Amino acid sequence: MTFNTIAALLLMWSVAPQVTKMTPDSPRFMNEDPRGSTWKVFAVDTHDTGPIAVVEVEEVRQQNPPSHWAVIVQNRGLMPVLTYRMAAAVVTGDNKIKGTQLLQVVKNLKPGQVSRQQIKIFPTILNPTDRVVFYLSEATTDVAPWKADKAAVTGLITAMAARFPVP
Q: What tens digit of pLDDT does each residue of 26-84 get?
A: 333 334 678 888 889 999 999 988 899 999 999 998 777 777 999 999 999 999 999 99
Domain 35-163 matching CATH 2.60.40: the answer reads: yes
pTM of the model: 0.77
Q: What are phi and psi of 160, to 5 degrees?
A: -70, -35
Q: Which of 138, 30, 48 is nearest to 86 (CA)?
A: 138
Residues in a beta bridge with 90: 99, 132
pLDDT of residue 126: 79
Percentage of the chain modeled with pLDDT above 70: 80
If residue 2 lies in a helix (H) or strand (E), which one and from where to where?
none
Rounded to whole angstroms, what are the CA distances from 94 to 20, 41, 135? 39, 15, 19
